Amino acid sequence: MLSLRRKVVNAVMLSLTGVCTFLAVGTLLFILGYLFFHGGTSLTTDFFTKLPTPVGESGGGMANALLGSAKLLLLASCIGIPIGFLGGVYLAEFGGSSFSFVVRYTTDLLNGVPSIVIGIFAYTLIVLPQGHFSTLSGGLALGVMMIPIAIRSSEDFLRAVPVSLREGAMALGASKAKTIVTVVIPAAKAGLITGIMLNLARVAGETAPLLFTSFSNRFWSPGWEQPTAALPVMIYTYAISPYADWKRQAWSAGFVLLMLVLTINICARMLLSKRGSALR
């Protein structure tokens, strides 16, 4: 017979774990609901089409910040995805044991470096010698942040491809390079694309490394050599500003950024569960 005390402890503790789950999930729903309510209602078409107004004036939008974020992400992808992807191919297909261990360990190490430290790195590398803030340095900072995630996700998805597929291709006389390009990579395609999407979603919300690399700009930023506005940085500067209208716009920008990040996340995971289920 169970004593009453043990029964009570059992029931109480198990329900407490349910409460914990409820709190964690509730936080997400609260964040979504609150941003929908505050950001969604204050979102206007001006937000997407107009430049910011001079300090203190109400109205205006963040068109330049949207374009700035897009440019930074493009630059980051050009740096982060090729290096990360090919590095992942090396680890999955060619790597010996000890050197691969060193590469994996370093990758994890780089992945754990706080984003603001990566910002300092891009600053000392580009901003300091050039003497001015630039889109280029911001893109480099985000690109460096993308590399470790790209390398680990592409390695994982390439490894998930069954060895029998590789053996089949090689048995037909294909060289190793040909096997990788025509058999292994196409088989892992869904996973690789998912990895890239999640990676982009992560760096799209990064603010800290941009504060002193791409800085900010209240106007359009042509080319790659000038400072540029970016959506996350605008949220930060507008949120801590004293103006009511800027705070309203910070909510709109937060709403747009969150929707963007969550949409990419949900799409990527759905793609993976639908197409990649055979490989997992």
Partner 1 sequence: MAASSTTNISARPSGRASAFWQRLRSGDDIAYVITLTCALTILAITALLVFELFENSAVPRDKFGWSFLVTSTWDPVAGQFGALPFIYGTVVTSALALLMGIPLGVGAAIFLAELAPTKISNGLTFLIELLAAVPSVIFGLLGIFVLVPALIALEPAIRAVLGWTPAFSGPFYGVSVLSAGVVLSVMIVPFIISISREVILAVPTEQREGALALGATKWETTWDVVIPFARKGIMGSIFLALARSLGETMAVTMVIGNEPKIHESLFAPGYSIAAVIANEFTEATGELYLGALIELGLVLFGLTIIINGLARVLVLSTTKKGAS
- 63-102 residues in contact with partner 1 (CB under 8 A) are 82-87, 89-91, 93-95, 99, 102
Q: What string marks each residue from 8 to 47 as x (binds partner 1 by CB under 8 A) or -?
A: -xx--xx-xxxxxx-xxx-xxx-x--xx------------
Helix, strand, coil proportions of the chain in percent (round to 5)? 75, 0, 20
Residue with tokens 């890239």: 196
Does the footprint of partner 1 cover residue 115 (CB under 8 A)?
yes
Residue 267 identity (one-letter amino acid): C
Range 133-152, binding partner 1 (CB under 8 A): 144, 147-148, 151
Among 112, 131, 222, 242, binds partner 1 (CB under 8 A): 112
Q: Which is nearer to partner 1, 89 or 183 (CB)?
A: 89
Give the single-character DSSP code of 178: H
Verify binding: residue 157, partner 1, rule CB under 8 A.
no
The closest of 273, 257, 259 to 73, measured between CA atoms, is 257
Q: Residue 230's closest CA among 145, 143, 139?
A: 139
With respect to partner 1, which residue has the nearer C-beta, 190 or 253? Answer: 253
Measured from the CB atom, the residue of 58 and 106 that comes closer to partner 1 is 106
Sequence-distant (≥ 6) Cβ neighbours of residue 36 within 8 angstroms: 255
CB closer to partner 1 out of 35 and 161: 35
How many Å from the N-terminal Cα to the C-terminal Cα in the chain? 45
Q: Using the rule CB under 8 A, is 132 a contact of partner 1?
A: no
| Shortest Å distance, C-beta 141 to partner 1 | 11
Under 8 Å between Cβ of 215 and 126: no
**Which amino acid, one-letter code, is at 156?**
D
Q: Per CB under 8 A, which of residues 173..232 are in contact with partner 1?
A: 175-178, 180, 198, 201-202, 204-208, 211-212, 215, 232
Give the closest residue to 271 by CA, choosing from 214, 218, 205, 192. Answer: 192
Interface with partner 1 (CB under 8 A), residue total 94
